[in-house]
Amino acid sequence: MTNPRYAKFLLGMGLCVALAGFPDVAFAHAEAGAASGFLSGFMHPISGWDHILAMVAVGLWGALLGPPALWILPIAFPVAMAAGGMLGLLGIPLPWVEIGIAVSSIVLGLFILTNMQLSLVIAIPLVMIFALFHGHAHGTELSPGADAVLYSLGFVIATGLLHAFGIAVGAVDALPKGRVAIRALGGGVLLGGVYFLLGAFA
């Protein structure tokens, strides 16, 4: 701790952590369960690698496609996923859900690997179809008892943040070897999809 500014920064953070160690009583009355509803929803999309891979890949592919796909795909995906979730909640069946989820990773990974430049007319419906599969899988797994709106809010925000993470990773494209790194990531997503597809058939 030789740098005085660094030392002061650490001291300040230490004080914050120490203050955080003195919580008082919290009476969350009518809103009891709200936090658990939001957190449960937030954790749901990040609870499985098959979902994480595809959602990050959507952001990454959007970053490769550039505007307006960069922001239209992350707008379309959560809405279609919510629609799929609604179908799952209502018990309306959707065939080949697990296969669809795995194929979404394979296709998106392939697009990133090959830097596929599709038009929005194709890209948006394709991503929305993938989102339906992911949403349906989540919808059939949703645990009852939590606050519906807060749970849904947490669920959607987590999904959006995964897209944002993919877009942020896509910024690597500006670096000298960035494109190679991104294509390698696409290859990783593809392999992950193949693994999940084998699991779906197992």
Partner 1 sequence: MTPYRAGLVLSFGALLAPSAAHAHLVNSGVGPFYDGALHLILSPMDIVRLVTLCLFAGAQGPQSARSAVILAPAAWLLAGVAAYAFGATGSFGFANAISLFLIGGLVAFDLRPPPAVVGAVAAGFAGFLGLQNGMALRSDGMDWVALLGTAAAVLVVVLSVTALVVSATAFPFRVACRVLGSWASATGLLSIGWIVAASR
Binding site for partner 1 (CB under 8 A): 5, 8-9, 12-13, 15-20, 22-31, 34, 38, 71, 74-76, 78-79, 81-83, 85-91, 135, 139, 142, 144, 148-153, 155-157, 159-160
Residues in contact with 138: Cβ distance below 8 Å, sequence separation at least 6, in sequence order: 44, 45, 51, 81, 84, 85, 88, 155
Residue with smaller CB distance to partner 1, 90 or 121: 90
Q: Cβ of residue 61: shortest distance to partner 1, in angstroms?
A: 17
Q: How far apart are CA 127 and CA 133, in angstroms?
A: 10
Q: Cβ of residue 54: shortest distance to partner 1, in angstroms?
A: 16
- How far, in whole angstroms, is CA 134 from its chain's centroid? 11
Q: How far apart are CA 22 and CA 18, in angstroms?
A: 7
Residue with smaller CB distance to partner 1, 1 or 26: 26
Residue with smaller CB distance to partner 1, 110 or 153: 153
